[in-house]
Structure 1
């Protein structure tokens, strides 16, 4: 292309000057630094200018290759110091790229469209040849799970996919469950267990909201376990309206109601918040 950048900084792509020469076997490499001790990466390479229009020649005249077009001017340079500490130094490449990979890197640094052949499938197939059929099936299923991230572009769609397909534990407040209930039901959200922390401080009406975040199956809820953890001796739910608090009994949580009705509870006999002497004095 006529608008190619003539000089490219390959940074730490090449491990040595020998590696650079091996990646351009058909070119003549000319190093600006004559001292071999200073011919170390990083390198800046100036490629020959490519003419967009070819020269006219006679019918009987053979075209002679231009030796100047096969000369690469290599200039070693020093990266500015980023700081005196080891963590200030950037990580350097340790992989010896092949000539084909170098050509792909060079094409990617140039303006315009760059197309690279998909050899990953062949490499993946060669790697899987040494494994059992079960391992191949597991690897294929794993790739199939990540297929959704190629189709879903927005972060919201990906988060919804993870919420429905991959998430094992989901934490939310009862208020957030009330706000997002319609969206969760439409997504086909499913769960079997609910663990409700500080259940004695939740409004009685809010306690039922997390139970209704999924559609029933065949008329029955698929919810299997509901675990409520709380202390009815501590603060009740916060009700700012005094009328609702005193006359509607809204300060009583569902957890406290169950305890007062005599529903069997499991009382924990160990704690890790305070010293044992302080607990003995309180009780």
Structure 2
């Protein structure tokens, strides 16, 4: 009699567990992540769209219970079994977006690939400088995982399987051109004395220099460059007449050798200045010139 009761309770228990597993048979888990670099930006919004519009919160059966489909994926910070207000029969990894759907939605997704989409938007200007946003991705049915199937795995096998199946959204990064890269501006001070010959390049850069002044004169010149162990200082004249074609953005070395950043015969400047357009080894300076009496 005791054996019969034991078998009865065992069958009843198995039936309960089987029913619980059956409840998840028609429930699917969709997990995806943002690129690590984009993850660090605040103000990133993800929306599930249906036929180009945010999906309406219709009621479906999830885990045997009637719930409304979320229009936004749920972001899980740490490992947990709870997605939004739904408790799964196992834990899933953190730092991941999850969305729960039913079998009918998955079938429609497979038959009509463009109907379900993930839309990524942001109001963060720093994020849009680095990434092509907004961005839209079609939902991929192959990445929807059946919860009952996952429930049949061991915890270790399930964790590895999920890690493999979580979709890393390939949001495109913008290529930052040389002109877009912020320049570091350094400061430096050069001192000369009227008791000695002032270098020719300094005289070109300072046409307002008073050689008869008996006090210390100080001048600040922006947009100077240090390249190939040489200072290039912008000079006032816009056109160098001795060049066959007009030259612009003209600079002089301290010794007085003139070159141009643009124009001239090639259209790309001349001499050392032409390297300012492409070199990554140049350093921008703000020079303070002190002229002692």
Normalised by the size of structure 2, how large is the TM-score? 0.17
Q: Which has the higher strand share?
A: 2
Which of structures 1 and 2 has the larger relative contact order (alpha carbons within 8 angstroms, sep 6+)?
Answer: 2
After TM superposition, the score normalised by the length of structure 1 is 0.18
